[in-house]
């Protein structure tokens, strides 16, 4: 499968554009198969969304990718080398945030980054300053982390992942606990990092978020890859049109007399959802105009990623195991 960004890619890993590859990756906890024979490929410049419900195996996979836990079987190749044998070469080029960041709550945000920089062998203050600006924490850098909101702690976690200016960022649920404004900020931050040429792997169960951000998506359920695709290819048309019209109940009654209008309904906001003759919006428009109900708008309805996800995983909303 080709990356949408391969045209700008600069192979430098000895394996072409593949930045991360898992082969038959499996993790068993007792009798539970947390990750089951996972084959994934992430290409340079991708923002790869690793999507699945609670307990699907996202964090377990990410821990194996980073070499934090050993797989039961299978292997991980990151930046062209096997993580099991070459983590010392690989990890300095990788920034990671797994679940909640480990922070010193009694220290300031800036001092947390200083402490980390010392453990990395020294990073200059200008770099710390730049990273703080990048994640939008410059104004609060001198406050103790204890006083930070959840979103600010999350952004400080991303700042820590960025300290060594990594080629690859692996972030487990970076939008976790963020409010809508925080989610938009995080999305813009990740976009700007990808624009700088970084490859980004994020896990998420926030489906709309992944759809807006990611160039490719892997859906995992019960430890297995369900599908791997571009977000646009995952969602498909529902065959329904959303119609706003002045006298919606009367227009709906007119629609419901037609054989092609199976499933037409009025939603609580006053919009009509209906199929169209031959599936074409122009035919629906003509029908409504001829019937005396001139539409204010007709919008074709694509499936949301959430609907696609539920269809592909066949899971009930909130369904974990």
Ligand X SMILES: Nc1ncnc2c1ncn2[C@@H]1O[C@H](COP(=O)(O)OP(=O)(O)OP(=O)(O)O)[C@@H](O)[C@H]1O
- The entry of ligand X, Mg ion, none that residue 153 binds, CB within 5 to 8 Å by partner kind: none
CB neighbourhood size of 183 (10 A): 19
Nearest to 193 by CA among 59, 14, 45: 45
Nearest to Mg ion of 55, 239 (CB atom): 55
Nearest-approach distance from CB 142 to ligand X, in angstroms: 33
Q: Does the protein bind ligand X through residue 34 (CB under 6 A)?
A: yes
Q: Compute the residue count for the chain.
A: 321
Q: Does the protein bind ligand X through residue 58 (CB under 6 A)?
A: yes
- The entry of Mg ion, ligand X, none that residue 92 binds, CB within 5 to 8 Å by partner kind: none
Nearest-approach distance from CB 83 to ligand X, in angstroms: 17
* Strand boundaries in the chain, DSSP class E: 18-29, 32-43, 47-51, 73-78, 81-82, 94-97, 168-172, 199-204, 216-221, 224-229, 237-244, 265-266, 272-274, 297-302
- The entry of ligand X, Mg ion, none that residue 32 binds, CB within 5 to 8 Å by partner kind: ligand X
Q: Does the protein bind ligand X through residue 246 (CB under 6 A)?
A: no
Nearest to ligand X of 64, 156 (CB atom): 64
- The entry of Mg ion, ligand X, none that residue 29 binds, CB within 5 to 8 Å by partner kind: ligand X
How far is it, in rounded angstroms, from Cα 41 to Cα 218?
A: 9
- The entry of ligand X, Mg ion, none that residue 301 binds, CB within 5 to 8 Å by partner kind: none
Q: Does the protein bind ligand X through residue 22 (CB under 6 A)?
A: no
How many contiguous H segments (helices) and E segments (strands) does the chain have? 11, 14
Stretch of residues binding ligand X (CB under 6 A), selected from 14-22, 28-36, 163-171, 275-283? 28-36
Q: Does the protein bind ligand X through residue 177 (CB under 6 A)?
A: no
Indicate the helix (H) or strand (E) that contains 181: helix 180-195
Radius of gyration of the CA atoms of the chain, in A: 24
Q: Does the protein bind ligand X through residue 218 (CB under 6 A)?
A: no
Q: Which of 57, 157, 174, 295 touches ligand X by CB under 6 A?
A: 57
CA atoms within 13 A on the CB side of 202: 30
Q: Does the protein bind Mg ion through residue 215 (CB under 5 A)?
A: no
Q: Which two tokens stand for residue 269?
A: 């906001």
Q: What is the DSSP string of 216-277?
A: EEEEEETTEEEEEE-HHHH--EEEEEEEE-TTHHHHHHHHHTSTT-TT-EE-TTS-EEE--G
Q: Does the protein bind Mg ion through residue 59 (CB under 5 A)?
A: yes
- Whose tokens are 């394996």? That residue is 15
Nearest-approach distance from CB 69 to Mg ion, in angstroms: 13
- The entry of Mg ion, ligand X, none that residue 280 binds, CB within 5 to 8 Å by partner kind: none
Applying CB under 6 A, the residues found at the interface with ligand X are 29, 32, 34, 52, 54-60, 205
């Amino acid at each position: 499968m080709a990356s949408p960004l391969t045209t700008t890619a600069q192979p430098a890993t000895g394996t072409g554009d593949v930045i991360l590859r898992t082969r038959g990756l499996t993790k068993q906890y007792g009798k539970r198969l947390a990750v089951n024979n996972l084959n994934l490929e992430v290409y340079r410049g991708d923002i790869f969304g690793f999507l699945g419900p609670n307990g699907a195996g996202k964090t377990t996979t990410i821990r194996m990718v980073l070499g934090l836990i050993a797989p039961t079987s299978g292997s991980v190749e990151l930046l062209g080398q096997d993580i099991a044998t070459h983590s010392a070469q690989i990890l300095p080029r990788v920034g990671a945030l797994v679940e909640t960041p480990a922070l010193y709550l009694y220290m300031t945000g800036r001092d947390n980054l200083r402490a980390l920089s010392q453990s990395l062998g020294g990073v200059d203050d200008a770099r710390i300053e730049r990273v703080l600006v990048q994640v939008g924490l410059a104004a609060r850098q001198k406050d103790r982390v204890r006083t930070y909101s959840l979103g600010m702690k999350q952004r400080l976690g991303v700042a820590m992942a960025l300290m060594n200016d990594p080629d690859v960022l692996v972030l487990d649920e970076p939008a976790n606990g963020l409010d809508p404004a925080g989610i938009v900020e995080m999305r813009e931050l990740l976009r700007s990092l990808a624009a700088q040429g970084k490859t980004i792997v994020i896990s998420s169960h926030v489906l709309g978020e992944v759809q807006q951000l990611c160039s490719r998506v892997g859906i995992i359920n019960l430890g297995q890859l369900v599908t791997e695709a571009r977000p646009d290819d995952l969602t498909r048309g529902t065959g329904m049109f959303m119609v706003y019209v002045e006298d919606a109940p009367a227009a709906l009654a007119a629609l419901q007399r037609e054989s092609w209008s199976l499933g037409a309904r009025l939603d609580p906001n006053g919009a009509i959802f209906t199929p169209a003759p031959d599936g074409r919006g122009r035919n629906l428009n003509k029908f409504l105009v001829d019937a005396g109900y001139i539409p204010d708008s007709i919008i074709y309805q694509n499936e949301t990623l959430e609907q696609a996800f539920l269809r592909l995983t066949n899971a009930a909303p909130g369904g974990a195991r």
